[in-house]
Amino acid sequence: MFPKLRSGLTRRAVGRLLVIAGCVVGALAPASAQAMPDLSVAPSLSGAETVAVGDVGQGQLIVTHHSTAPENAGSLTLTELTLVPSCGAQFAEPSCAFPPPGADAGVINVGAAATGSGACTGVSFAVAVSNVLTGKVSFAPSTPVVLGTGPASSTCTVSFTYTVGRAATKDSSSATGKQTDLVAFAKSTASIAPHKQAADQGYETVTVVRDTPQLTTLASAAIETGGELSVAGTLSGSHPDGAISFDLFGPTDPTCSGSPMSTSTTGVNGNGTYRSAAVVASQSGTYRWKAAYGGDDDNDGVSSACNEPAAATVARSSPPPPVPTPPAGGGNTSAAADTGAKADAGKAPIVSNATQGVRLDSFGLSRRTFVRAAGSTPLVAAAAADTTKAKKAAKGTTITYTLSGPAIVTIVVERALKGRRSGSRCAKATSKLKRKKSCTRYVKVSTLKRTHTSAGAKKVLFSGRAGRRALPLGSYRMRATASSAANTTSSERKATFKIVNSLPR
């Protein structure tokens, strides 16, 4: 029996007939002795010929009993159903390990459960990885699946969910772009003696493209000349890395067609908000920002346009200093000015946050290792420590810092977890990265905000809880910044700490 081919633009199936009856039936035996069951399996991603990294959708495995009387060998009971969801070679063996280039595990990932329809309506399928090297999964039915010969009973459709985890690194086709193959394999046993077996292998080719991330920009609010300009870029894609560049164009370049007056670049480590370097506004007018993300293996590059309203900042000329008012009744104004100058001698000049920016200094913790306290830590509050002294506690810790002026302090609490190097970033440890260098990755668990109405030393009680939720035992770090009413942001400060079950005596 020669292999049968069912061809299409993107979906193909390769069928093989296996006969296990204790002996080989002679080639010249009568037709009734040649009753051969005929089975086919066809995988698909619900008609999707192109998918993008980050996509979530539904796929199918269609298993059909094609035999007709009198050569049908009875009904067929499905004994095996497997799928390699991303293979780098066409017409590969079921394991997708041979011939090279083999599997491309992690491109398409199958969900943990599947459901049946048609001949297997009401049957659920447990999905489990049977080969971690190839990503092959098996579909185990909750009850036996029997395929009859009638139109309504001959086909079982198994529906599963899938996600596209990353771009393909192996190319299964010579077509434009990067392709990967879904390779399915099914086995069955006939109900009529000698219970022959039928098996079939089918596959579908899909093109995998990179995700198109979203990049939005938000510039600092209006300032006076001499103040600092900055912009924040918020990136949302499929676990992006690489870098974002920020270009600033001055008031004389409203179309952003010339060379930028300033360019800064910051590294990207996942979705989030990234900020440009600060630039002093030397003249009045409208300043415009453009941001550009360069992309990576899984994400296309994207950029913002010139003249986006949220990416522009207006700088106004500083008002002239007030004219001194002469003392009542006349008199020697020069002597009065001299007296005022002597009175102010040795005093530090008054600095405006609007032009110089707010500073966050001396950031630290009273205890770096501590036991959780019973009380909650408010996530957002007007800090009472502006006016009251923090009470000394036996548990928890106290966050301390100094502000140069009124500000909102944002403290991001991150948990330290083990990871493995993946390019320039520290990623979650997986079997794929087990040979990579170990590293420490930080995962955000909470954000605290405190509003202060004055400058000076501040204290914030931290119980080891985010609101009422207790943080797990382990190592952490805090990242703190202060922002003023003029939308200036301080340099970031960091401190590490550890929450333990008990302290040594």
CATH of the domain at 401: 2.60.40
**Comparing 11 with 243, which gets the higher pLDDT?**
243
pLDDT of 325 over the 50 cut: yes
Which region among 269-273, 296-300, 321-325 has the lowest average model confidence (pLDDT)? 321-325
Structural domain that includes position 241: 214-316
CB atoms within 10 A of CB 338: 11
Residue 207 has pLDDT above 70, yes or no: yes
Which pLDDT band, with edges at 50, 70 and 90, does 196 fall under? confident
Please check whether residue 47 lies inside any domain of the structure. Answer: yes
Stretch among 57-66, 177-186, 376-385, 472-481 having the lowest mean pLDDT: 376-385
Indicate whether 233 and 295 sit together in one domain. yes
252 plus 152 within the same structural domain: no
Mean pLDDT of 365-391: 74
Mean pLDDT on 226-243: 92
pLDDT at 324 over 70: no
Determine the pLDDT at residue 102: 80
Residue 14 confidence (pLDDT):
42
Is 70 exceeded by the pLDDT of residue 31? no
Q: What pLDDT does residue 344 have? A: 38
Choosing from 141, 175, 209, the residue where a domain stops is: 209
350 is a domain residue: no
Q: Identify whether 101 is part of a domain.
A: yes
Higher pLDDT, 140 or 47: 140
* Res. 108 pLDDT band, cuts 50 70 90: very high
Measured in residues, the chain has a length of: 505
- In the predicted model, is pLDDT for residue 338 greater than 80? no
Please compute the mean of the pLDDT values over residues 237-247 and round it to a whole number.
94
Q: What is the reported pLDDT for 7?
A: 30
Residue 124 and residue 246 share a domain: no
Q: Of 25-39, 232-246, 377-391, 489-503, which gets the smallest average pLDDT?
A: 25-39
* Predicted pLDDT at 250: 94
The reply to whether 483 falls in a domain is: yes
- For 43, other C-beta atoms within 10 Å of its C-beta total 24
pLDDT in the model for residue 29? 35
Grade residue 95 by pLDDT with cuts at 50, 70 and 90. Answer: low
> 219 Cβ partners below 8 Å, 6+ apart?
229, 230, 231, 232, 287, 289, 310, 311, 312, 313
292 vs 286: CA distance, rounded Å: 20
Q: Which range is least confidently modeled, 28-42, 103-117, 138-152, 340-354?
A: 340-354
Same structural domain, 195 and 255: no
Give yes or no: residues 237 and 372 share one domain: no
- Range in 304-318, 339-353, 383-397, 456-470 the model is least confident about: 339-353
Q: What is the pLDDT of residue 231?
A: 93
Local structure of 426: helix, strand or coil = strand
118 pLDDT exceeds 80? yes
Average pLDDT, the chain: 81
The confidence score (pLDDT) of residue 322 equals 63
CATH no. for residue 266?
2.60.40.1930
Closest residue by Cα to residue 39 from 260, 184, 198: 198
Q: Is the pLDDT of residue 275 over 90?
A: yes
Q: pLDDT class for 13, splitting at 50, 70, 90?
A: very low
327: amino acid identity, one letter: P
Amino acid type, 82:
T
What pLDDT is attached to residue 217?
Answer: 92
CATH code for the domain of 125: 2.60.40.1510
- For the segment 78-97, the average pLDDT, to the nearest whole number, is 80
Assigned domain for 346 exists? no
Same domain, 189 and 53: yes
Tally of domains within the chain: 3
289 touches 306 (CB < 8 A): no
pLDDT in tens, 136-178: 999 999 999 999 877 778 899 999 999 999 999 888 888 888 8
Answer whether residue 325 is part of any domain. Answer: no
Q: How far apart, in whole angstroms, are the C-alpha atoms of residue 308 and residue 185? A: 53
pLDDT in the model for residue 341 = 37
CA–CA separation, 460 vs 458, rounded Å?
Answer: 7
272/187 same-domain check: no
Q: Is the dihedral of CA 429, 433, 438, 441 positive or negative?
A: negative
Mean pLDDT along residues 421-433: 86
The pLDDT of residue 333: 41
Q: Using only the alpha carbons of the chain, give its radius of gyration.
A: 34
Q: Say what the pLDDT of residue 328 is.
A: 56
100 shares a domain with 182: yes
85 plus 168 within the same structural domain: yes
pLDDT in the model for residue 242:
93
CA distances from 70 to 28, 36, 149, 189, 242 (A): 17, 10, 11, 17, 64
Instruction: Name the E strands within 17-147.
Output: 39-44, 50-52, 56-65, 76-87, 108-118, 124-131, 136-141, 146-147
154 three-class SS: coil
Selected residue with higher pLDDT from 26 and 107: 107
pLDDT at 434: 83
Last residue of a domain, one of 287, 316, 345: 316
* Range among 31-35, 51-55, 129-133 rated most confident: 51-55
Residues 168 and 271 in one domain: no
Please say if the pLDDT value at position 386 is more than 60. no
* Residues 222 and 191 placed together within one structural domain of the fold: no
| Nearest-angstrom CA–CA distance, 383 and 163 | 45
The number of beta carbons lying within 10 Å of the beta carbon of residue 403 is 23
Identify the band that residue 32 occupies on the pLDDT scale cut at 50, 70 and 90. Answer: very low
- The C-alpha atoms of residue 181 and residue 90 are separated, in whole angstroms, by 7
Would you say residue 349 lies in a domain?
A: no
* CB within 8 Å of 285: residues ≥ 6 apart: 250, 251, 252, 314, 315
**Same domain assignment for residues 378 and 409:** yes
Q: Measured between alpha carbons, how far is 279 from 226 in angstroms, rounded to an integer?
A: 9
Q: Select from 292, 316, 340 the last residue of a domain.
A: 316
Asked whether residue 373 is domain-assigned, the answer is yes
